[in-house]
Amino acid sequence: MFDDLACEKFGRKDLKYQHWRWQPHDCDIPRFNGKALLERLRDKRLVFVGDSVNRNQWVSMVCLVQSSIPQGFKFMRLNDSLYTFKATEYNASIDFYWAPLLVESNADDPSKHRSDNPIVRTDAIEKHARHWSDADILVFNSYLWWRIPKFKVLLGSFESPKKAYKEVETPNCYKMVLETWADWLNTHVNRTKSRLYFVSMTATHHLGEDWGMHGDQNCMNEREPIMEEGYWGSGSDPKMMGIVEEVIRRMKTKGVEIQYLNVTQLSEYRKDAHPSIYRKQWRPLTKQQLSNPLSYADCTHWCLPGVPDVWNELLYAYIVHF
């Protein structure tokens, strides 16, 4: 468990957030069975590709399966952008690859990056794709870094001494990147072997006014989900979801099946399930942050056990039962 997700370890006392279960109308989600999934993954490689929310889901998946594996038959390895969990008895690998914008960007270093000035090469994906081109199951996401009005698109390479950029409206840039991603899949994916998934954006709860609190409140100290059916907060952009859905529809016409895991609505309700201040900080806190915990509460990622386990129950159902 990474310390930025281990809320109980870092002082969270209320654990009710661990016990809510997602129940869709007219549908029963199969219970997660770690051994059944590992058997399905025997001699295979499952790779999560994307940002820190996708890493959040990967950590959840590792936690869900590892208790089914005896000590001595599993190991973890971190190698730059590639995180590997291996179940040796099954020859199964469950990996995470850090590529928050899918294509090459100035955010490619998993520990040294800035989200306030992202720069992308919209047509360059091979640097990343070579790390997951042999995967049997690929689970993609990319949304967290796209919540700004405009992006800088690099004309040329990051290695060039003279760099030129053009500014592009974020939805247009997102579409360009997803088209590059889709073109790579269309060219390289084995249609009979590979299974492809794209996880939709997950909710953030930074603005308490979304659920009737004062504007300076956020997820900190929230202990109950939002019970208003169909609730939709300001942190989720339907237009961006629509871009993903359109690319997936177009890929289907080309014979490439990508299952869209729509977890947005179910995570919208869960304002109670973020780490808030109950986590290890990646960087030392400033005096201003220490004097006002609201300023550093994490209302983007998710405590574990918690909401990402539900996303993996959905993924499990697709891999094992469909």
C-alpha of 26 from chain center = 27
Q: Cα–Cα distance between 237 and 21 in angstroms, integer?
A: 25
**Tally of CB atoms within 10 A around 268:** 23
Q: Are 29 and 266 in contact (CB under 8 A)?
A: no
Residues classed as catalytic: 52, 298, 301
Q: Cα–Cα distance between 314 and 250 in angstroms, integer?
A: 23
DSSP state, 111? S
For residue 72, what are the CA distances in angstroms to 76, 89, 173?
11, 9, 46
User: Is the CA virtual torsion 162, 167, 168, 170 positive or negative?
Assistant: positive
Q: Are 223 and 16 in contact (CB under 8 A)?
A: yes
Tokens describing residue 76: 């973890």
Q: What is the DSSP secondary-structure string of 229-243?
A: TT---TT--HHHHHH
Buried b (16+ CB within 10 A) or exposed e, 237-258: beebbebbeebbeebeeeebeb
One-letter amino acid of 261: L
Q: Are 184 and 140 in contact (CB under 8 A)?
A: no
